[in-house]
A and B are shown apart, each in its own frame.
Chain A
Amino acid sequence: MTVVSSAVLPIRTQEDIVRVRQAAREAGVAQGFSLVDQTKLVTAASELARNTLDYGGGGEVEIVRLNEPPRRGVRLTFSDQGPGIADIEQALKDGYTSGGGLGLGLSGAKRLSNDFSIKSKVGEGTQVMIARWR
């Protein structure tokens, strides 16, 4: 598996969310994703970026383009040093929200991605990884 490119973007403002979406889009295009796959990647990225900002108190995302012949992919890892998630299983349930949202962000991002993993510790922060492959 080769890392074709890797970049870290801050998620501190609403404008940063726009930049994250653009970067995710570019990575998808570079890896040859179809329009639908690009859209799924960018939408998942948007959900997690908003979570990082709204619930995590801000953080960053690492965007990595990976080649694992014959497949090519994009992996995004969102991290924050926010309050953390006490009950991850609950957080992953459709409709569960701790902040008046729709409760679809985390579970939705998982559904829209091929790979998904989450690590969180109360009082320390959260890290969510998603990957989409072509």
Chain B
Amino acid sequence: MEKIPILKMGRFLLVTVQVDMHDQLAMQLQDDLTDKIVATRARGVLIDISSLEVVDSFIGRMISNIAAMAKVLDAETVVVGIQPAVAITLVELGLSLEGVRTALNVDRGMALLQERLAQE
């Protein structure tokens, strides 16, 4: 069965969503991430959606869930690579993704997370 790979980058975890997510895969990702945050004591999660041309409320919910779960585990979530057309559509869709920081790309996302960590 396919699994979304989770990469460790220093104190953070990077997830790149490239395929069409379905229920099973989304649940699997959330479970895997929870395990990995605890196992690596990660302080941040980067979700790279730069390949996604469509982000609907299902993906939105998955991202919100990941952010909420990460927060409980003392990790911050940053979504990176939102395509312009996707950003416009998300606003009109009414998806707010509250509690989720965003950044232009992985580099900026990492910098954001490092900043937060340094402030502690």
Which residues of A approach B to under 8 Å, CB–CB? 14, 17-18, 21, 35-36, 38-40, 42-43, 46-47, 50, 94, 101-102, 104-105, 107-108, 111-112
Contacts and interface: CB of A to CB of B under 8 A. Distances in A.
Contacts, number: 67
Main secondary structure of the interface of A (DSSP, over half): helix
A101 B57 contact: yes
Given A14-B22, A104-B95, A107-B94, A46 B85 contact: no
Interface stretch (B7-15, B48-56, B67-75, B107-115): B48-56
Given A46-B54, A101-B61, A111-B93, 20 more contacts: A14-B20, A14-B22, A17-B22, A38-B85, A39-B85, A39-B86, A42-B54, A43-B54, A43-B93, A46-B58, A47-B56, A50-B56, A50-B58, A102-B64, A104-B57, A105-B56, A105-B57, A108-B56, A108-B93, A112-B92
